[in-house]
Structures are given as structure tokens and as C-alpha cells.
Amino acid sequence: MITRTLGEISVMIGATDLSDKHATIKIEGVSIDSRSVKLHNLYIPIKGERFNGHEFCQAAAANGAVAALWNKSEPNPPQDMPLLFVDDTLAAIQRLAQAYRSQLDVKVIGITGSNGKTSVKDILAGLLATTFKTQKTSGNLNNHLGVPLTLLRLQEDTEMAVVEMGMSGLGEINQLAAISQLDAAIITSVSEVHLGDLHSRERIAEAKLEIIHGLKSNGLLIYNGDNPIFMEQFNKQSPVCRSLSFGYSPAHALHPLTSFMNENGIFFSISDADCPELFLPMLGKHQMINALSAIAAARHFGISYEQIKQGLLQVEATGMRCELVSIGNCTVINDAYKSNPTSLRAALEALYAWKGKGSKRKIAVIGDMVELGQEAEDLHKEIGEELDATQLDAVFTIGSMAKHIALSAMSKFPYGKVTTCMDKQEVIDQLKQIIQEDCIILIKGSRGLRLEDIITALQKEVAFI
């Protein structure tokens, strides 16, 4: 993590009014939350629509902060705490992160995309860690604050940093990539997830391609070339950086040749003859495609295929992304972190392909997909029309939009096999009746639904049986 004197911090962010007696005070790490401040942290108060971090400076000091930034426009700065005055604390933390990154001898790989960012981050970090001291984005710190915090948490001797980058509008990835000064960039996918904000798939592709502008002159862009709309935007821009495509199509530089999935993960081979058969302990062919991008980046930085083979076995995956949970006689695929048409189709494919032991019934619990704009109802109906009645024994939907999935699917399923629910408790009550049966249950929905609560409730139910 960043360790600098206040004098050095002042120069890095262009702060004013730092007294000479405070210039030699050393800070160790930064925090934007007074409740999680650690000893010797620099507290950086952020002002939002519903809160103002400046109000908690005293609390930050009580928890161990040795100094703070202060927005010049905020009244009543504390008199008993060293302060660095800036025009905007958000802009200041971004400047600080950019300056700190430029001082480090570290390679930074930025990852963006509508789906798969976190999985690619986890896989790539596992591969790079076989050879280099590697750090990665923690949790979901991937926005205008999360990326600066990720960079400021890098140790001075970190050799590789894997940084996830999210966005909700044009210009955001451009800013994050510029702050990060990328040695390589990965675009995992482009899908409907941002339609509510950007209104068209073309604009979503344009937003993801902004990552190119943060690449160093010798940097490498690795991109999923399976999406025609993305490729149209890519060809329009004609980026001058080095690039490498991956995906299902044999036209790509890196593509799968064979694959086989069981309950432990997926075995696959790729288009490079020098690469042995690989095994990834994650569910779904979409994870194999995610792995292709990580393999391409790892090879770019000198990781051997033997190291890649071992690294895939050591991936520390973030939870709620096709995560397996055992409850009674049931196996649950917890994919409750988020949902959109592309990721839902991938999760359903993983469920269809399940070849675990026993003759398990296959059940899908599907919640609303959000942020789909004016196409939301139609996109939910499409999913319903695509559900495979030969692969599913029961379907439960949750929410007013997911109801359209159920209504579109009912004609294909036997009576009573598709059930619409308006809240989680209805689903929990239904699933309680079957959790002692031999079944596998997919739970998939957008983040706001917190469908992992269903799993918690079922685990408690089993504990009392």
C-alpha cells in the first residue's frame, strides 16, 4: 500500500496549505470510510448525494487516521488534524492513484466487459501468481473510486496488478484506464447489461473500447471477437495497438478445440499446439472462454503452459459466480451476483450440461434482470422462449420482469412445472419441499434481489431437519 510523507502526497496531488511541521508525517495506506480506517491511514472524505465524508473526519482520526484531505469548499475544517486542502477530494484520490502507479515498477492489466470481468480477474491473477508477486482488485472495487483504491493498495514490490474496470456510461473506462496506465487490456464481452444507461449495443461496445486509450505504446489488447456489433465498432476505430482475439470461432487467434465438463469443472484444449490439455475448476463453457483471455495475457508476460496448467488449479474464485453449494441432497449453483441475458444463458447452459453423479432433477430459479432499458420485457420473453423443457424439471421466477420468462415458457412445459413468484419467501417455501431430493438448483438474478438469501434460508432449514 502507499507509504509516503504528507509532503510527498501534497506534491503528488497538488494540495495547498500544508504546514512545514506536518510535511514529514508518514501515512500508510488510505481509506474513504471512517469506520474502516487503520492506524496511520490518510483519510479521504468523499461527498456524495446522500452523505458527506467530511462530517466524519473526527471519527477517522479517533480510529487511527493521521491526516486527511479536505475539500476547500467545505466549512469548518478540523483544527486538531493535519489537512491537505484540495478543490475536489474525488479528483485528488484519482490523481494520487495515478501518481503512485507511475512510481511503481509494476505491470498493470486492465479488464473490462459486460460479463466475465471478475472471473477473468481471478483466473489471470492465479496464472500470474505462479511466477510474479501479484495483486488483484478486491471484491467489486472497479469504479471511479474502486480502481484508485485498488492501485493505492498495491505493495511497492508488486510485479503484476490485475485491475477490474466497470462503467455505467461513456468516458468512465477512458478515465480509469488513464489512471492505471495499462501494459495490457482485456475486453471480455459486450452484452445488453448496460442498455438502461447507454441505450444501444453500439454505444456499449464504444464504451468498452475506451480501454485502448489507457494502453502504453507497447501494450497488448486482448478482446473477445465473437460479438459482431463489437467487431463493427472495433473495425471502425482501427486501433493501432497490438491486439489478439479470442472466442469460440476458429477465426480467432485463441479458441477452444475440445471441451468436456463435469461437476468439478471443465477439461479443454486450445488452438495452440504447444499447450497441453487444461482443467479449470469452474463451471460452464463461458468460464473456458474467460480462461482463454487470461491465458493470452499470461503468455504475453512470459508464463509457460506448464505454469498455466498449474495456475488454473489454484484459482481463487470470487463467490456467487457459478459457485457450488451443497444443501441436504441438493447441489446449488449459486450464480446470484448479477444477471443479464448473456450471463443467464451461460448459467443455464452450465445447468443443462451438468453431469454430476445420480439422476438429479434440474431446477432453475430465475430472478429479474435489471438495467435493460426499453428492451427489458422483450429480453425476458426471449429467455422464456429459449428455456429447454427437455433439460429442466422445474422453473421458478421471481419478480415482475422475470414473470415474462415464466409466461413465455409455460406452453412448452408440463402443467405446474413453471411457477411465478413475486418474492423470495415464496420460492423458499417451494424449495423447502424438495431440498432432500436428488436435485441440482440454479439460482440466478440481478444483484438487487440478493437471491443468495434463498440459499441461506435453505441451509438453515436443513440444519433443523
Q: Which residues are annotated as a binding site for ATP?
A: 113-119
Write out the H or E segment, with its range, that includes residue 155. none
| Side-by-side strand order, sheet with 67-71 | 30-31, 42-43, 67-71, 83-86
Specify whether the backbone of 70 is left (phi greater than 0), alpha (psi in -120 to 50) or beta.
Answer: beta
Looking at this protein, which amino acid is placed at residue 231?
M
Give the three cell numbers for residue 334: 449459486
The residue with cell 459486450 is 190
Cell of 199: 441505450
Dihedral in degrees, nearest 10, Cα atoms 91, 93, 96, 97: -110
Query: Which spans in 14-145 are helix H?
Result: 57-62, 89-103, 117-128
- The secondary element (H helix, E strand) that includes residue 1 is none
Annotated binding-site ranges:
113-119
> Rounded to an integer, what distance in angstroms lies between the CA atom of residue 141 and that of residue 139?
6
Three-state DSSP class for 132?
A: coil
Angle between helices 402-409 and 376-386 (to 10 degrees): 40
- Is 276 buried (19+), middle (13-18) or exposed (0-12) by CB count in 10 A? exposed
Q: Can you read off the three cell numbers belonging to residue 261?
A: 465438463
What are the cell numbers at 327?
A: 444443501
Q: How far apart are CA 342 and CA 153, in angstroms?
A: 33
Question: Please, which residues bridge with residue 164 across strands?
Answer: 111
